[in-house]
Amino acid sequence: MSGLAAVFGRELAAYFRTPVAAVVLVAFVAAAGIVPFWLGGFFERGQADLRSVFAFHPWLFLVFVPAVAMRLWAEDRRTGTAELLATLPLTRTETVLGKFLAGWAFIALALVLTTPVWAAVAWLGDPDHGVILAGYLGSLLLAGAYLAIGSAAGAVTGSQVVAFVLAVAAGAVLTVPGAPLVVAALGGVVPAGLVEALAGLSLLSRFEAIQRGVLDLRDIVYFLSTIAVFLLATQALLEAESA
């Protein structure tokens, strides 16, 4: 556990050693605050909730989270610290989990920085705070899934750019089948059972259920299982590389 904490602290601090962290945080918070008002019709809906805000989180995370994840392993390869980590009394599991949890904490901070919108909605109306909390929980779980995917992508290559592209592509494959437009388009050419199965496996479908305030244990287990699978894949890829 001490090894895990050491990796977590080192990696979290690394995010703030350069201006990149501030730029990424500002970009995400600005996009998360502006896009729902510009494209989501926040005021036109006339409702005191954050559903239009959370509706854009999957698409923002699809780009933002891979940008966070792409440095998890590529940076160590670039600086040569990958070899140093291998010599330390750390298990591979501690290293993988420590890096992942540091990235997840960084993303959680980005989500916390969007809470002024929640405060504004509470001031303007009487929102259902339970539903909003569920939306934040869903966003955090969704971000964790994308981050785990990005971790596995980073374990495949030493290039941050390639890791980013792979993570975005893999995330899109697990997201797009749940989009209403895609479901409708597939409905006319693909058997209904297959369309339903693909939508059920989509990160987007699971997230939408939670952000509506429906906390189904199956959805939470789905996200945690997705995270576990891709972190195990990360570990397997790293071990294969060092073998």
Give residue 83's pLDDT.
55
Q: What is the pLDDT of residues 64-79, one digit of tens each?
A: 999 999 888 776 666 6
CB 210 within 8 A of CB 138: yes
Give residue 159's pLDDT.
84
Q: What is the pLDDT of residues 90-117, one digit of tens each?
A: 788 888 999 999 999 999 999 999 888 8
In whole angstroms, give the CA distance from residue 14 to residue 22: 12
Give residue 90's pLDDT.
74
CA-CA distances (angstroms) from residue 175 to 31, 179, 196? 20, 7, 14
Give residue 212's pLDDT.
86
In whole angstroms, give the CA distance from residue 139 to residue 221: 15
Lowest mean pLDDT among 36-50, 65-79, 209-223: 36-50
In whole angstroms, give the CA distance from residue 212 to residue 214: 6
Q: What is the pLDDT of residues 189-198, one digit of tens each?
A: 777 777 777 7
Between 164 and 121, name the one with better pLDDT: 164
Region 7-33: mean pLDDT is 84
Q: Taking the CA atoms of the chain, what radius of gyration do you get in angstroms?
A: 19
Give residue 38's pLDDT.
66
Give residue 145's pLDDT.
97
pTM of the entire predicted model: 0.90
Region 34-45: mean pLDDT is 62
CA 29 vs. chain centroid, Å, equals: 15
Q: Which structure tokens are listed for 112? A: 């916390």
Give residue 240's pLDDT.
83
CA 59 vs. chain centroid, Å, equals: 10
pLDDT above 70: percentage of residues in the chain: 85
CB 207 within 8 A of CB 125: no
Q: What is the pLDDT of residues 125-141, one digit of tens each?
A: 788 888 899 999 999 99
